C-alpha cells in the first residue's frame, strides 16, 4: 500500500473516532433512561447524589465534563471495575480514589450488565429536571391547608340573625303604625307603648298553652344537642395540627411506597408506634435533598435539627430538638397495644389511621371513642392463621364454636372492662 493510501486510511480512522466522540452524548440518549434511573436508585443513590453534595462519594453534577473523554467509555470502565482501572495506572482514577480518603467504590462487574451500566451513565449525563414548586397542599398553622377555604358557617349564622332582627324591627314598626291608625279611627287614646319585653309578656299571658309547648320543645332539643356536645368533647376526627416539619405522607407512603413499619417500627414490637427519630429520616436524606424548593425547605429543617452539614457530609453543626404537635391521644385509663393489633390481630394501619398515603401532615382519622373500639371488636374476626403462639387456643375456639363460625374478638372476651381498663 502506497503512502497516500496509508495517510488517507489514518485520516479516515481519526475522523471516525472524532465523530464517535462528538456523537457519544447523543448515543447515550438512545439508552433506557427509565431503567438507568431505576438502577441508579437501587445501586448508586446510597453513596452518590446527582447534585454537588457529597454523601459517601462525590456528587455527580458535571461529572461527564470532569472525567477523561470520551466520558462514556471511561465511566463504563470505572463503574464496572474501578479497582482494575486504578491498577492499570489510570491517573484520574487514582486521583478520585485519593480525593475521597481512599474509599473504594463497589465493583459492579458481575452485578450489573454492560447495558445496565450504559443506562446508568445515560441517566447521570441527562438527569431529570427538577419540577417546579410543589402544588400539593401542606398543612399549616391551625390545621388548615394552603388553598383550602375556611368554613363560613359562623358568618352565615350571623347574617341570618341580622336579617331576622331587621324583620322583627320592621314588623313591630308596622304593627305600631297600624295600631295608631285603629286607635285614631275609634277615637281612643293611642295604646301605651309596651316595648319588646312588654309585648312578649303580653303574648305569653294570652297564650299560655302555646308557650308551654314551645318551652317543652326547646328543652328537649337543647337536651339532645347538649348531650351530643358533651359526648363529643375531645373527639376530634379530622384534627390536623401544624408541625415544625411538614412531613408529607403522600410523598413517602404514597409516591415512594415506603412501608409504615419502616418508620414506625414500634407498632410491630410494642405498645406505642412512636414518632421516628430523625436518624431514620437521614437514612435517605443524607443524599436526597429534594426535587423542588418546597421539599428542599423541609429537608433543610431536618439537617438543622440533626446538625448535618451537607457541604461537608458530616454532623458538624449543633443539633436542635424538634417539638412535634401530638395528633392522637388516648386517656391514661385506656390501654391500647399496637403490636397486639398489628401482629396478632393483623389489623391494617388504615383501619385506625385512614388512607395515610394520601395525607400531607398526619391527621386524626377515627374518633377513637370507646364505642368505636367496641364496635370493631364485635365485627372483626379473629385471625387464626399464621399465629403459631396461639395455635392451641385457636383449636379450642374452633372446637367450642364450630369450624364455620366467624369468631370475633367479642366472643373471646374482648368486651370485658379489664381488657382495656386497669
Distances (CA, A) of 115 to 38, 76, 334: 13, 10, 59
Do 66 and 119 share a domain, yes or no? yes
Which residue in the block uniquely carries the three cell numbers 454532623?
315
- Structural domain total, the chain: 3
Residue 271 included in any domain: no
Per the CB < 8 A criterion, the answer to whether 107 and 82 are in contact is yes
Residue 303 included in any domain: no
- Among 158, 157, 138, residue whose Cα is nearest residue 146: 138
Do 179 and 105 share a domain, yes or no? no
Per the CB < 8 A criterion, the answer to whether 77 and 34 are in contact is no
What the block records as the C-alpha cell of 210 is 302555646
Bridge partner residues of 145 (DSSP): 139
Contacts of 309 (CB under 8 A, 6+ apart): 303, 315, 316, 317
Do 96 and 172 share a domain, yes or no? no
Mean pLDDT in residue range 367-384: 91
- What pLDDT is attached to residue 153? 54
Residue 95 included in any domain: yes
Do 116 and 177 share a domain, yes or no? no
Do 115 and 28 share a domain, yes or no? yes
Residue 198 included in any domain: yes
Residue 357 included in any domain: no
Residue 117 included in any domain: yes
pLDDT (tens digit, 9 = 90+) per residue, 76-109?
Answer: 888 888 888 888 888 888 888 888 877 778 888 8
Which residue in the block uniquely carries the three cell numbers 463497589?
106
Per the CB < 8 A criterion, the answer to whether 275 and 248 are in contact is no
* Confidence bin at 6 (pLDDT 50/70/90): low
Q: 0.85 cut: is pTM over it? A: no
User: What is the domain range of residue 399?
Assistant: 370-422
Domain boundary (102, 125, 148) is at 125
- CB-count burial class (<10 Å; 0-12, 13-18, 19+) for 60: buried
pLDDT (tens digit, 9 = 90+) per residue, 247-284?
Answer: 999 999 998 889 999 999 899 989 999 899 999 999 88
Do 95 and 183 share a domain, yes or no? no
pLDDT (tens digit, 9 = 90+) per residue, 377-402?
Answer: 999 888 887 777 777 887 888 888 88
* Confidence bin at 173 (pLDDT 50/70/90): confident
Helix (H, G, I), strand (E, B) or coil at 309: strand
Domain boundary (77, 94, 125) is at 125
Domain boundary (213, 231, 249) is at 231
φ/ψ of 234, rounded to 5, equals: 65, 15
Helix (H, G, I), strand (E, B) or coil at 150: coil
| Peptide linkage before 104 cis (omega within 30 of 0) | no
CATH of the domain at 54: 1.10.760.10
Residue 176 included in any domain: yes
Residue 44 CB coordination number (10 Å)? 22
Residue 3 included in any domain: no
Q: Which residues of 326-343 are buried (b: 16+ CB within 10 A; e: fewer)?
A: ebbeeeeeeeeebbebbb
Contacts of 196 (CB under 8 A, 6+ apart): 172
Do 24 and 103 share a domain, yes or no? yes
pLDDT (tens digit, 9 = 90+) per residue, 110-145?
Answer: 888 888 888 888 888 887 665 544 444 444 444 444
Mean pLDDT of the chain: 81
Residue 188 has pLDDT above 70, yes or no: no
- What pLDDT is attached to residue 370? 92
Amino acid at each position: 500500500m502506497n503512502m497516500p493510501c496509508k495517510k488517507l486510511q489514518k485520516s479516515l480512522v481519526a475522523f471516525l473516532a472524532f465523530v464517535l466522540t462528538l456523537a457519544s452524548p447523543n448515543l447515550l440518549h438512545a439508552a433506557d433512561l427509565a431503567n438507568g434511573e431505576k438502577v441508579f436508585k437501587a445501586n448508586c443513590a446510597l453513596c452518590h447524589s446527582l447534585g454537588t453534595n457529597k454523601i459517601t462519594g462525590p456528587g455527580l453534577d458535571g461529572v461527564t465534563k470532569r472525567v477523561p473523554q470520551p466520558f462514556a467509555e471511561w465511566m463504563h470502565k470505572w463503574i464496572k471495575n474501578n479497582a482494575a482501572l486504578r491498577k492499570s495506572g489510570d491517573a484520574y482514577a487514582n486521583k478520585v480514589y485519593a480525593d475521597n480518603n481512599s474509599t473504594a467504590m463497589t465493583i459492579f462487574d458481575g452485578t450489573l450488565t454492560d447495558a445496565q451500566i450504559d443506562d446508568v451513565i445515560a441517566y447521570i449525563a441527562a438527569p431529570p429536571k427538577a419540577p417546579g414548586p410543589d402544588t400539593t397542599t401542606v398543612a399549616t398553622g391551625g390545621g388548615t391547608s394552603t388553598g383550602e377555604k375556611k368554613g363560613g358557617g359562623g358568618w352565615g349564622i350571623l347574617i341570618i340573625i341580622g336579617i331576622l332582627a331587621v324583620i322583627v324591627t320592621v314588623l313591630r314598626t308596622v304593627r305600631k303604625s297600624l295600631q295608631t291608625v285603629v286607635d285614631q279611627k275609634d277615637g281612643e287614646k293611642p295604646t301605651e307603648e309596651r316595648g319588646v319585653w312588654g309585648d312578649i309578656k303580653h303574648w305569653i299571658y294570652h297564650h299560655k298553652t302555646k308557650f308551654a309547648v314551645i318551652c317543652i320543645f326547646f328543652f328537649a332539643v337543647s337536651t339532645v344537642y347538649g348531650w351530643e356536645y358533651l359526648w363529643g368533647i375531645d373527639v376530634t376526627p379530622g384534627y390536623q395540627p401544624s408541625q415544625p416539619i411538614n412531613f408529607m405522607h403522600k410523598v413517602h407512603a404514597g409516591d415512594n411506597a415506603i412501608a409504615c413499619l419502616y418508620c414506625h417500627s414500634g407498632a410491630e414490637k410494642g405498645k406505642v408506634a412512636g414518632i421516628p427519630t430523625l436518624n431514620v429520616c437521614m437514612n435517605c436524606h443524607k443524599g436526597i435533598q429534594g426535587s423542588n424548593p418546597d421539599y428542599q425547605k423541609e429537608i433543610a429543617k431536618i439537617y438543622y435539627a440533626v446538625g448535618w452539614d451537607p457541604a461537608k457530609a458530616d454532623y458538624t453543626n449543633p443539633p436542635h430538638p424538634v417539638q412535634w404537635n401530638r395528633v392522637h391521644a388516648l386517656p391514661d385509663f385506656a390501654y391500647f397495644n399496637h403490636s397486639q393489633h398489628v401482629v396478632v390481630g393483623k389489623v391494617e394501619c388504615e383501619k385506625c389511621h385512614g388512607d395515610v398515603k394520601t395525607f400531607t401532615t398526619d391527621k386524626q382519622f377515627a374518633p377513637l371513642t370507646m364505642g368505636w373500639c367496641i364496635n370493631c371488636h364485635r365485627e372483626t374476626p379473629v385471625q387464626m392463621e399464621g399465629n403459631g403462639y396461639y395455635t392451641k387456643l385457636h383449636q379450642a375456639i374452633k372446637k367450642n364454636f364450630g369450624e364455620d363460625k366467624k369468631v370475633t374478638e367479642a366472643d373471646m372476651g374482648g368486651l370485658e372492662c379489664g381488657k382495656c381498663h386497669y
